Amino acid sequence: MSPEKLKVKTNALPNSRIAVEIEIPAARCKNSYQDAITRLSRTVSIPGFRKGKVPKAVIVQQIGVTRIQATAIESMLQNIWTEAITESKIEPLCEPELSGGFDSVLKNFNPEKVLKLTLETDIAPTPLLKNTKGLTAEAEKVEFDPKKIDELIEESRKQLATTVPVSNRSAQKGDIAVLSFQGTFTDDGSAIEGGSADSMDIELENGRMIPGFIEGIIGMNINDSKDLKCQFPENYHQKEACGRKAIFKATLKDLKTKELPDLDDNFAKQASEKSNMEELRKELEDRLKADAKMRQNKNRENALLKALIKELEVELPKSLIDQEVRIIVEQTAQKFAQQGIDVKSMFTEDIVKSLMESSRDEAKEQLLQKLALEALANTENIDINETEINNKLEELKEELKEEKNIDQERLKEAIKDDLLKDKLIAWLEENNTVIEKAPEKTTKTKTTKPKAKKTKKESA
C-alpha cells in the first residue's frame, strides 16, 4: 500500500529563497513513529529481555517518548523533502532548513495527527534586464606612454648595476650604507624591538626607513657616529611604536655605491635577448603598446558590464554568494601554491575566515556580472554552436599536445564559456556606447621589464 500523498505549498521569500510548506498525513506520522520504536528496540539492552524482543511499552518507558519522536521525524524528513521538491518541481541550491528549528517541529509532533512543517531553501535566481541596448558606459582611457620605455630601461640598469666601495666622500642619496645602530624610545629609554643591528646594508632612498633615519645618515663619513632623531609613523605596523619618538645611535662602517652600465649594445644583450639598443627599445615599445591596448579593452569591458548590471533585476541567494566566495579563496590559494608557498601552513583558520569575509563584495560583483551576461544571452538569443567550439579546439591543439588526462567534456565547456563571454562583450560594444575619459590622476602602472640574464641563484 503506497503512503498517503503530502500536501505541498510553496511561497517565495526574499533573496531568491523559497518556503515549502508540507502537510504530512497522520498515517505517515504514525507509521514513522512505530518504525522508530522498532529500530530503537534493536539497540536497547534491558535485563530479562532478548534484543529485539522487548515489548513496545517497555521501550517507550525506557527510552522516552521524546527520543522516539525525534527519531521518527528525522527518518521522515529526507523522504518528505525529496517528494516535496519533485512534486513542486523545485531545484534547490542547498540543503533545506527547518523553519522555526527542529525543537519547534518536535514540540508539535503527535503520531496520531497531521504534522505541518516548513522547509526553506535557496533556488536559482531569475535574472532580468530592463534594457540591453542604447546604454552609455564610461571607461578610463589607457594610452601608450613613450616615457615608460626609458623608465623600464632605467630599472634594468639598476638591476645590472655593479656595487663599488666609496672612501673619498660622505654618504649621498642613492648610496648603500653599511651601518651598526641601536634604537631606543625617547620617552622611557626602552630598547626598540628589532631596532638594532651590528652590520646592515641600507640603501639611502626615501621611504626605506622611518622618517629621520635616512636623512640623518646622508652627509656622514665612514667611521662617523651620530644620534639619529626619528619618529615612528602613527600607522606603524608595531602598535607599541606608533607615533613615538626614538633615537638611533648609528655608526657608518662602510659606504658603497652603484655604478650603472652604459646604454650601449652590450647592455641590450645583458638586459634582453636583443643584440642592440634599437631592437630593445622596439621590443619594449611593442610590449607596452600591447599592454596598453589590453588594459584599455579590459576597461571598456568592465564599463559595459557595470552599465549592464545597472539594468539587472535579480536577488542573490546566500548559497550562491558563499559558493563564489569559496571559489575566490581557492583561486587565491592556488596562486600562492604556484609560487611555491606552503598554503597549508599559511592559510590558518583565522586567515581563511578573514579572507572569506573580505571577499564577499568581490563575490557579489562577480555573480552580478555572470547573471547579467546570462540574462543578456537569453534575451538576445546569443549562443555558441558546436562548430565554433571545434574550431577553437583545433586552435588549441598544438598548445595542449603535451597535456595528459584532459577531460574533453570539461575542456569543451570551458571553451564554450569563454567564447560566449567574448561574443556577449562584442555584442555590447556594437549596441551600446562607451565614452573614454582621461584618468583622474596619473598612477604608476606595473609593466613588464626587459628580461635580464641572471644566474640560477639570482633568478631564484
Average pLDDT, rounded, for the chain: 88
Please classify residue 217 by burial: count the beta carbons closer than 10 Å to its beta carbon, then call 0-12 exposed, 13-18 middle and 19+ buried.
buried
Would you call 44 exposed, middle or buried from its count of C-beta atoms within 10 A (0-12, 13-18, 19+)? middle
Q: Which residues contact 414 (CB under 8 A, 6 or more apart)?
A: none
Residue 48: its pLDDT value, please? 64
Quick one: CA dihedral 346, 358, 337, 238, positive or negative? negative
Query: pLDDT tens digits for 116-175?
Result: 999 999 999 999 999 999 999 999 999 999 999 999 999 999 889 889 999 889 999 989
**Domains in the chain, CATH or no CATH each:** 7-124 (3.30.70.1050), 162-259 (3.10.50.40), 276-459 (1.10.3120)
| Residue 219: per-residue pLDDT | 93
Read off the pLDDT of residues 92-109 as tens digits, 9 standing for 90 and up.
Answer: 999 999 999 999 999 989
Distance CA(346)–CA(368), nearest Å, equals: 31
What kind and span of H or E run contains 228?
strand 225-231
Half-sphere exposure of 457 (CA within 13 A, CB side): 0
CB atoms within 10 A of CB 442: 8
Between 185 and 349, where is the model more confident? 185
For residues 174 and 255, is the Cβ–Cβ distance under 8 A? no
Q: Which helix (H) or strand (E) holds 120?
A: strand 115-122
Most confidently modeled of 41-50, 153-162, 404-413?
153-162
pLDDT at residue 439 is higher than 90 = no
Helix 277-310 × helix 360-379 angle, to 10°: 80
CA 282 to chain centre: 36
Mean pLDDT for the stretch of residues 33-43: 83
pTM listed for this prediction: 0.71
Q: Tell me: the pLDDT tens digits for 106-121? A: 998 998 999 999 999 9
Say what the pLDDT of residue 47 is.
66
Torsion angle of alpha carbons 399, 404, 409, 415, nearest 10°?
-20
Residue 1: pLDDT over 50: no
Task: Return the SS3 of 215.
Answer: helix
The SS3 call for residue 107 is helix
pLDDT at 296 over 90: yes
For 111, half-sphere exposure in the C-beta direction (CA atoms, 13 angstrom radius) is 17
